Structure 1
Amino acid sequence: MSKTFDVIVAGIGGMGSTACYQLAKRGVRVLGLEKFEIGHAMGSSHGLTRILRLAYFEGEAYVPLVQRARELWIETGKLTGEPLFFEVGALDIAHEGSGIVEKALEASQAHGLEHELLDRDAIEARYPFTLDRNHVGLYQPQSGFVASERAILAHTALALHHGAEIHGCEAMLGWEPTAGGGVRVTTDRGSYEAGRLILSPGAWIGELVPTLKPSTEVVLQTLGWFAPARPSLFDLSHFPVFTLEADEGHFYGFPLWQHPGFKLGSPHYGGEAYDPDTPSREPSPRHREQLRACLAKHIPGANGDLLGLKACMYTMTPDEHFIIDTLPGHEQVIVASPCSGHGYKFASAVGEALAELATTGSSRFDLGMFGLSRFS
């Protein structure tokens, strides 16, 4: 006989781990299933850190969600006694007129966010960048980064503390609706039933919901760590997280933290199509060259010896917005994937929203822009 739960969560990454915690603390009988080990490096959440920006140039509708996420990252860090959010500030740098800084400025003004508009000379006087003549930037002091790997383990620990059942190294093979309006989930170790199913498997969403395959694309991204000539220039006490639109691509980076190297991410729009079932995660040689080109031109003080490379995956939608919605025809199934390469910062708030959807049928946030109907 299948073991029965109120909610099953498939995929214990950034959003799935948070959903398990939020459900368990509400007294919900929840099962979390993860095909790899908890805190693995096969998906989209590893590499130590993820940026949290409040002034969101991707759309100001995201701002209330990321503001709540910031509150929850801080709250969870206090609960676990280990900080998860580090307020080091964020700097978006782009060519004037490209729309990136302009949209971030609009979001700041619309939501009353603290911000500072900087020209190229002001940025170079303050930070170790070498920029193009028409580069401008928007600085956001209340932004920073999230300890992404630490946060998944923290949320999983809290979920277990509140009574959740979490199974690592157990692959979900499929699901089907039950006669009572619930769902039956089959794994490589057994089967389980629940009233609700939350699917947050990242790059594997197309396997579990085949109708979403045409609307998603998995691409490879590369993270690099490089030895800086003067580490003090990149210390988190005065160097922010940043995004940088340049001729070489759209990069992002971090101050030094938990690693002797300066972390730089390969171009957001330079992804290479990738099969998530590839057994290893080999970084892209092309991305490695792009990282070096960016450092040589724009951050020469960090263009030292290569200390490490990691590959991760983005799962993209055509409009690069998230998917958070119930599955048409199967309202007991909630889809929370993919996140198009910019979702981790929201994970704490999205997990809360998923718990609300699974228990009450609605969320405090307007999730309309993430609906599946836009792909019809």
Structure 2
Amino acid sequence: MAQHDYDCVVVGAGVEGSATGYHLTRTGHKTLLLEQFTLGHSKGSSHGQSRITRYTYRQIHYANMMPECFQTWERLGREVGTELYRNTGLLSVNGPPYQDFTLRSESLRVMGKPCELPTVGEICQRHPGFSFGPEHKAFVDPNGGVLRADSCLRALQTMFVKQGGVIKENEKVLEIIPGEHVVIVTSRGRYTAKSVVLTPGAWASKMLRPLGIDPPLKVTQIKVCYWPERQPGAFGNYPCFYYLSEKYETYGLPCDDHSGLVKVCNHHGDDLQGPDQQNQVQYSHQIETLKSFIREHVPGLMPEPSLVENCLYTHTPDEDIILDRHPDHPNIVIGCGFSGHGFKLAPAVGRILSELATGTTPSYDISPMSLKRFPNNGRLAAKL
């Protein structure tokens, strides 16, 4: 048998790739983690100070993963001596037809997790910075809260290295050559591995097409906006929130690292041709939509953002993620299309991808995330 450099090479050191590397080295596999940019860069989807986490999910296959995610973040925090999660609770507010309210609250019941059902009047009395009319329904996931995203990413990478992993940054992958041992050609070298895991984020289509795979992926740019409190400190004890109606799909969370500001964003962004087009959008409707949302439903905030950042989402048409082996090369594993909800799922995703890479039966049912749901198993359409 030919020699190989690594048991596994993971391409992309965002949260999914870093979580995969963490699990691989934790189980004793010699692993290389490659990143085309500097570690912690702001060009992709894993940067920033904060992300919402929660137990509640419309999709029961994601809800089933969340207990492990909470447990892993807690363990990882102990391992590095840093608190990674702050429990604020998650308030979910829906306008008609309330389908999201029904499915999300039901997922908590199925998991045996607590679910509070306040009236919107009680919410607005408890948190006067909100304004919701009687047509709304709401529930609270009391275990929801804030992940300290930058700290989470650093913790995964710190433990990856401590467990024997190797990270190489500013090293772009130029070619992946399938075979019994996969060859990975980069801007700085050439590596071989028993398997490779591809977690390239918004660069997924560009990396997968040369391998004959082209699942339907759309890249969007989200405006991450921070809004000043009208009364400083007023939102200090507020929960994270998610709001869905026919007019808005918006989320918000308190900001530990930006005093006096609250992070409020749209779930949907501006379509891009690819990740290299980011920051070229001259005007975004997102901010005007958010200003309107703030005026109507969060009057405790000023309707003009103090700080605006960018983040990339990579969507699939059904907004389910892709976790699978290449249909023709089973030692090439693919993780992409996280559709804006990948960060909170990263610990379980990393476990699944590490299991796929090492020939282990996945710990969860991944059929909803399979390439098989796309025409021709996601293969690139043959040219006529």
TM over 0.5, shorter chain: yes
1:135-146 to 2 correspondences below 5 Å: 135-146=136-147
Q: Counterpart amino acid of 2:293?
A: C
Which residue is equivalent to 2:95? 95
1:158-177 to 2 correspondences below 5 Å: 158-177=159-178
Q: Counterpart amino acid of 1:19?
A: T
**What is the TM-score when the length of structure 1 is the normalising length?**
0.94
The structure-2 alpha-carbon separation of the partners of 1:156 and 1:126, relative to structure 1 and needing over 3 Å to count, comes to same
Deviations 1:74-128 (A, max 9, x none): 1101111111111111111111433111111111111111011122212211222
Q: Is the CA contact (8 Å cut-off) linking 1:325 and 1:335 kept in structure 2?
A: yes
1:244-255 to 2 correspondences below 5 Å: 244-255=243-254
1:1-376 to 2 correspondences below 5 Å: 4-57=5-58, 59-127=59-127, 128-178=129-179, 181-210=180-209, 211-235=212-236, 238-278=237-277, 280=279, 284-303=283-302, 306-376=305-375
Q: Counterpart amino acid of 2:332?
A: V
Partner of 1:234, secondary structure, is coil
Gaps in structure 1 of 5+ consecutive residues: none
The structure-2 alpha-carbon separation of the partners of 1:305 and 1:120, relative to structure 1 and needing over 3 Å to count, comes to same
- In the aligned structure 2, how far is the partner of 1:93 from the partner of 1:194? 47
Over 6 Å off, 4+ runs: none
Moved more, 351-360 or 73-82: 351-360
- In the aligned structure 2, how far is the partner of 1:325 from the partner of 1:208? 15
Moved more, 269-278 or 24-33: 269-278
What is the Cα deviation at residue 364 of structure 1? 1.3
Q: Is the CA contact (8 Å cut-off) linking 2:291 and 2:303 kept in structure 1?
A: no
Gaps in structure 2 of 5+ consecutive residues: 376-384
Q: Counterpart amino acid of 2:207?
A: L
Q: Percent of aligned pairs with the same residue?
A: 29
- In the aligned structure 1, how far is the partner of 2:143 from the partner of 2:69? 13
The structure-2 alpha-carbon separation of the partners of 1:268 and 1:161, relative to structure 1 and needing over 3 Å to count, comes to same
- In the aligned structure 1, how far is the partner of 2:273 from the partner of 2:122? 40
Q: Counterpart amino acid of 2:289?
A: Q
The structure-2 alpha-carbon separation of the partners of 1:64 and 1:202, relative to structure 1 and needing over 3 Å to count, comes to same
The structure-2 alpha-carbon separation of the partners of 1:366 and 1:247, relative to structure 1 and needing over 3 Å to count, comes to closer
- In the aligned structure 1, how far is the partner of 2:11 from the partner of 2:344? 20
- In the aligned structure 2, how far is the partner of 1:263 from the partner of 1:214? 36
- In the aligned structure 2, how far is the partner of 1:202 from the partner of 1:213? 14
The structure-2 alpha-carbon separation of the partners of 1:20 and 1:283, relative to structure 1 and needing over 3 Å to count, comes to farther
Q: Is the CA contact (8 Å cut-off) linking 2:244 and 2:250 kept in structure 1?
A: yes
The structure-2 alpha-carbon separation of the partners of 1:101 and 1:212, relative to structure 1 and needing over 3 Å to count, comes to farther
Deviations 1:324-349 (A, max 9, x none): 01010000011011201111100012
Q: Is the CA contact (8 Å cut-off) linking 1:176 and 1:185 kept in structure 2?
A: yes
What is the Cα deviation at residue 350 of structure 1? 1.1
Deviations 1:185-227 (A, max 9, x none): 1111111110000000111110111155451111111111121
Deviations 1:289-318 (A, max 9, x none): 122111111111111653210111110001
- In the aligned structure 1, how far is the partner of 2:305 from the partner of 2:278? 24
Moved more, 190-199 or 351-360: 351-360
Partner of 2:325, secondary structure, is strand
Moved more, 104-113 or 197-206: 104-113
The structure-2 alpha-carbon separation of the partners of 1:254 and 1:212, relative to structure 1 and needing over 3 Å to count, comes to farther
Q: How many residues align?
A: 371
Q: Is the CA contact (8 Å cut-off) linking 2:239 and 2:254 kept in structure 1?
A: yes
- In the aligned structure 1, how far is the partner of 2:282 from the partner of 2:348? 30
Moved more, 248-257 or 354-363: 354-363
What is the Cα deviation at residue 2 of structure 1? 9.6
Moved more, 208-217 or 330-339: 208-217
What is the Cα deviation at residue 265 of structure 1? 4.0
- In the aligned structure 1, how far is the partner of 2:161 from the partner of 2:264? 33
- In the aligned structure 2, how far is the partner of 1:272 from the partner of 1:282? 9
Partner of 1:331, secondary structure, is coil
Moved more, 108-117 or 204-213: 204-213
- In the aligned structure 2, how far is the partner of 1:356 from the partner of 1:2? 22
Deviations 1:265-286 (A, max 9, x none): 4322344234201374768532
Q: Counterpart amino acid of 2:153?
A: I
Partner of 1:125, secondary structure, is helix
The structure-2 alpha-carbon separation of the partners of 1:283 and 1:183, relative to structure 1 and needing over 3 Å to count, comes to farther
Q: Counterpart amino acid of 1:366?
A: D
Moved more, 59-68 or 200-209: 59-68
Q: Is the CA contact (8 Å cut-off) linking 1:283 and 1:310 kept in structure 2?
A: no
Moved more, 190-199 or 115-124: 115-124
Q: Counterpart amino acid of 1:83?
A: E
What is the Cα deviation at residue 62 of structure 1? 1.2
The structure-2 alpha-carbon separation of the partners of 1:14 and 1:184, relative to structure 1 and needing over 3 Å to count, comes to same
Deviations 1:12-42 (A, max 9, x none): 0011111111111222110000111111110
Q: Is the CA contact (8 Å cut-off) linking 1:316 and 1:338 kept in structure 2?
A: yes
What is the Cα deviation at residue 242 of structure 1? 0.9
Q: Is the CA contact (8 Å cut-off) linking 1:234 and 1:255 kept in structure 2?
A: yes
